[in-house]
Amino acid sequence: MIYRGLFSGFLESLYLIFDRKKISSAERVFLETYFPYFRRLPAPHKREFVHKLEQVLTLKKFVGRGELRQVTDEMKLLIGATLVMVTFGWKNFRLSYFHTFLIYPDDYYSTINQTYHRGEVNPRHGLIVLSWKSFVCGLTREDDGINLGIHEMAHALKLVHFILESGERGFDPESWRLYCEVRAGEMAKLSAAENSFFRSRAAADEHEFFAVMLENFFERPHEFFLHHEELYLIAFKLMRQDPRVWLVHRVLRG
Ligand SMILES: [Zn+2]
């Protein structure tokens, strides 16, 4: 397993040296316009963001599924930017275990459990699957705490932490232990239909709770902090970033 990790790490380094994707100035303008997190970053962090996004676009595969014949550069930019946003707290963390994005034009039918899906992660094959329509919907409604891209990246992030051969272990163990304690109380509230900041989907299981929590962490950080300060501060330690810094409080904006 270690050998495999070392070998893929070596290949990744070669790609990044000899075949690195470069973000053009037009693509920077596109990100400024359509990716709010990037727009809000100060200049030095924007440079760091672009650097990380170039790595992600160089190393990940983007494959259209269903009726989606072509994955455009704009689609790759927005999906890649979501991965960079979620992992921005780490210096060098790209969810390498998940090497390919499969993108359907709309919600898609899963023959495995015979339901329609908006997205999923497949750790067995290293895939993150997204419905483009739902991804865009999550991005355009930027403050409702529902964002498919963040949701699926969160599932992937949590999984790589526990997959030994992923070679990437992101969470500080003590913060993770604290998180598990506090999560149990919040999930009990959700199950009892008591007032919770999180939508009911978070009650499904621990994976869904984490994904829904991160949707709110990035889209409604001030509200999250006001509702549940302890959990927000643990999430801040786990994720190594505080989105409140970039996002002016809506109350202050009037
Ligand atoms: Zn989920």
- The domain segmentation of the chain, as residue ranges, is 2-156, 173-253
Task: Calculate how far, in angstroms, residue 202's C-alpha sits from the geometric centre of ligand 1.
Answer: 9
* pLDDT digits 0-9 by tens, 199-247: 989 999 999 999 999 999 999 999 999 999 999 999 999 999 999 998 7
Q: Along the 254 residues of the chain, how does pLDDT read in single tens digits? A: 444 455 567 777 777 777 789 999 999 999 999 999 999 999 999 999 999 999 999 999 999 999 998 999 999 999 999 999 999 999 988 888 999 999 999 988 877 678 888 999 999 999 999 999 999 999 999 889 999 999 999 999 999 988 766 667 779 999 999 999 999 999 988 888 777 789 989 999 999 999 999 999 999 999 999 999 999 999 999 999 999 998 776 554 44
First-residue to last-residue Cα distance in the chain: 53
Task: Find tokens 């621990």 and name the residue.
Answer: 206
Task: Calculate how far, in angstroms, residue 207's C-alpha sits from the geometric centre of ligand 1.
Answer: 7
Helix (H) or strand (E) holding 61: strand 61-64
Task: Calculate how far, in angstroms, residue 108's C-alpha sits from the geometric centre of ligand 1.
Answer: 15
* pLDDT digits 0-9 by tens, 131-156: 999 999 999 998 899 999 999 999 99
What's the chain's length in residues?
254
Task: Calculate how far, in angstroms, residue 153's C-alpha sits from the geometric centre of ligand 1.
Answer: 10
Task: Calculate how far, in angstroms, residue 39's C-alpha sits from the geometric centre of ligand 1.
Answer: 27
On the CB side of 68, CA atoms within 13 Å amount to: 20
Task: Calculate how far, in angstroms, residue 209's C-alpha sits from the geometric centre of ligand 1.
Answer: 8
DSSP 124: T
Task: Calculate how far, in angstroms, residue 4's C-alpha sits from the geometric centre of ligand 1.
Answer: 29
The amino acid occupying position 90 is W
Task: Calculate how far, in angstroms, residue 17's C-alpha sits from the geometric centre of ligand 1.
Answer: 35
Task: Calculate how far, in angstroms, residue 253's C-alpha sits from the geometric centre of ligand 1.
Answer: 32
Task: Calculate how far, in angstroms, residue 14's C-alpha sits from the geometric centre of ligand 1.
Answer: 34
Q: Are 94 and 55 in contact (CB under 8 A)?
A: yes
Task: Find tokens 């997959």 and name the residue.
Answer: 163
* Domain range 2-156, CATH class: mainly alpha
* CA–CA gap between residue 10 and residue 67 (Å, rounded): 35
Task: Calculate how far, in angstroms, residue 211's C-alpha sits from the geometric centre of ligand 1.
Answer: 6
